[in-house]
Structure 1
């Protein structure tokens, strides 16, 4: 072993020497060619195989003169399946159902409503069919990124010639279940002076009509496409490089659990309040980019640049209001990004590797979310909750059948802030302690605090 020997062969009737030597030399291979009470040929071949796998030089043509080389069998995860998997959609004849097939990764069919030209596009999302969505985890929940909703609205708008998302407000996060799927509908209304309303709905697969939840609503426009920003000079002159070590680890601590597909930030620079960055899809997702206007994971990575300028202590935020979203070119797998603060939001300009515009966002406003919102935002209806609001009719004094047992505390002349004086409190205690408590005890409270929330709290607290 001191001379660098790492493979030992024992030529003897048993493996005694190998057993002893293993106690003295670590990380070495010991191969006895004979073992007591074992078949000789089998033991010798096993010894040669062990030496071979440890890098030893074995002449297998001499050992197996009639043998030939063959391909190794595939591993379990390299197999090909031809049977439909559980939960996978089996395509049917959409034309027979009056619908048109849509070649989009998130949407599968479309139908034009007769009369007003409204369009309805449908899709189905699940972790079984869209596994890359599992890499977008927010506060422990798999959330469909807002960029995916923008992508679906883009697809619907492009079908009817309204390629500009003038406004899109995300009302509720779309949470994917661990098992099963959600059905998605993108509804585009009738044209009104060149604009069309658009809404994105979803419900758990198999849910009833009451299960639909509106996750986004906005307006599509047929405005002429504006010119994007030219980012041919790269990196921008005067911009200072920003280190990215530990960037996604820090985001994870803030509630953003981005997997490999969404960890697209490659480089970043800062020039005053402006931030520049390069984002790219991982190799395994590049092939899918051609099916999208902009792959949602790629556009979402462009939003991560906002994390470089976020204030410390800021909560977990998701896209809320999109304004002036335009698609200039489709199918990009990497982006150059320029992010500029504008009012309460940010302006986002993206370009390809040559600097040609890809997509632009006039303004994006983010909004903070918490785990409670996500727990009830996954396409569930309010009736699935254990809590509900119930309005109970209040019987007035005039409707009471018998007021003889009513007891009024005080004379009713209560001031603006003094609700229950010591004397009235003692009267109430005397009534309760004097015997059987009356069915109704009335405490008059003056109603002069309308519009003053602080006084409402003060009065309610005093009454309690």
Structure 2
């Protein structure tokens, strides 16, 4: 207790003179007091103290009117304890059957216990006459009865495949061109083809903010050389019938091409390091706002028309089930921005693509410029073993109009066209009456009228 607060004179002065409650609390705060406990039948002074103090002092009331005494007192003591006060808990719980339990000395580990079901698992496909496609972007496969063709189906959305939301082009979330290539490679595996001879993108596939799209990949019958045509189409899942939008088409074949790229010496001899700072900021300024999953370019070197790069998926990215993860290959193509091509170009057409190994999460890449808009790409793993080869890839800038067309609103949209003020029309015209209405003996009547200043004059 503060000295002098127990004599009669103190309390007489307390009643007759100014109390200076706030000044007293601030003096204690200045002296280093950081915790205030009110001992009384209610918490009125606790609220007043909290309003009077200027720092981070802790206030608590041991009792409160209308509340059970024991829980209220325990809450007050606990509040003081967690803010550093030394509470004698052993004395408090003396005679009670309680014991203390030590807390971990490391930070709490947060674990999510909700089950995560793979997007491709949707129940008993066999009951519907289908079989699982065993790929994250494809759910089911079906052998067509009229020939030896194949049909793959799936449903894609930002919710079922969250990583796709990181691929934003001119304000729209698009399925990356590398994902179409991944679909073609998987279809080729099922059809006995180990090479994508051709793949051309016709229109982007826009993923809506809510809901998803139905996807179909159709592989035709093999010709005499074992080549198969394929198409990729989609339709909004809430569409009541209507046409399907075709996004890609191509040819599958056999005879995988080798990877002519020795990545065992790294970085390659004679290559100069490239500064990648500001790369993705520049791409975002051009309308290509890529999220973390697609920002996998780690380092780059340049040697003439060749650019070499290290690319890796961010930690925690789920890559199971992919041949070559679309985000990994897409990030590898970003290195074209340092080889004379504009920022933010996207794949348009592919030729002579072969996948040699699957499941890579980090790769080494060589991109060789072969034309104004084309490159050749060789991909190996971190040990220099072949992963993929691309004979020719044509890159072009994405068009916002193409995205709108894919979304189905290219022909129908609301627009406001301002009308310019119209000047008064000044001129004249001749009105000739119908001869059928004029008697034969009366000559034809000609009436001349002029328009000026808003009036009509005959």
* Contact 2:60–2:79 (CA under 8 A) maintained in structure 1: no
Q: What is aligned with 2:226?
A: 194
Q: What is aligned with 2:360?
A: 332
Question: Which TM-score applies when normalising by structure 1?
Answer: 0.72
Alpha-carbon RMSD across the aligned residues, in angstroms, is 3.7
Match of 1:8 among 35, 54, 59: 35
Aligned equivalents of 1:43, 1:354: Cα separation in 2: 65
Higher mean alpha-carbon deviation, 266-275 vs 359-368, is at: 266-275
Q: Does residue 374 in structure 1 map to residue 406 in structure 2?
A: no
Q: What is aligned with 1:141?
A: 172
Secondary structure at the aligned position of 1:374 is classed as: helix
Deviation (angstroms), 1:183: 1.2
Higher mean alpha-carbon deviation, 28-37 vs 131-140, is at: 28-37
Aligned equivalents of 1:437, 1:248: Cα separation in 2: 75
* Contact 2:233–2:246 (CA under 8 A) maintained in structure 1: yes
Going from structure 1 to structure 2, the CA distance change for 1:22 and 1:117 (only over 3 Å counts) comes to same
Q: What is aligned with 2:306?
A: 274
Going from structure 1 to structure 2, the CA distance change for 1:381 and 1:113 (only over 3 Å counts) comes to farther
Per-residue CA distance 1:291-316 (angstroms, 9 max, x = gap): 010111111111121223355xx475
Per-residue CA distance 1:142-179 (angstroms, 9 max, x = gap): 10111111111100001122111111000000001112
Q: What is aligned with 1:243?
A: 275
Secondary structure at the aligned position of 2:135 is classed as: coil
Instruction: Mark the runs of 5 or more structure 1 residues left unpaired by the alignment.
Output: 388-428, 439-464
* Contact 1:15–1:35 (CA under 8 A) maintained in structure 2: no
Match of 2:330 among 300, 311, 336: 300
* Contact 2:34–2:58 (CA under 8 A) maintained in structure 1: yes
Secondary structure at the aligned position of 1:91 is classed as: coil
Instruction: Mark the runs of 5 or more structure 2 residues left unpaired by the alignment.
Output: 1-27, 415-425, 435-458
Aligned equivalents of 1:334, 1:179: Cα separation in 2: 32
Going from structure 1 to structure 2, the CA distance change for 1:208 and 1:98 (only over 3 Å counts) comes to same
Aligned equivalents of 1:186, 1:332: Cα separation in 2: 24
Aligned equivalents of 1:437, 1:327: Cα separation in 2: 83
Matches within 5 A, 1:25-424: 26=55, 28-34=56-62, 37=65, 41-54=70-83, 63=92, 66=98, 69=101, 78-80=112-114, 91-114=122-145, 116-192=147-223, 193-207=225-239, 210-285=242-317, 288-311=318-341, 314=342, 316-343=344-371, 344-378=373-407, 380=408, 385=412
Per-residue CA distance 1:194-217 (angstroms, 9 max, x = gap): 311111111112535642111001
Aligned equivalents of 1:386, 1:375: Cα separation in 2: 10
Secondary structure at the aligned position of 1:335 is classed as: strand
Going from structure 1 to structure 2, the CA distance change for 1:47 and 1:121 (only over 3 Å counts) comes to same
Per-residue CA distance 1:5-49 (angstroms, 9 max, x = gap): 6943446546858965876653x3413353664665444433343
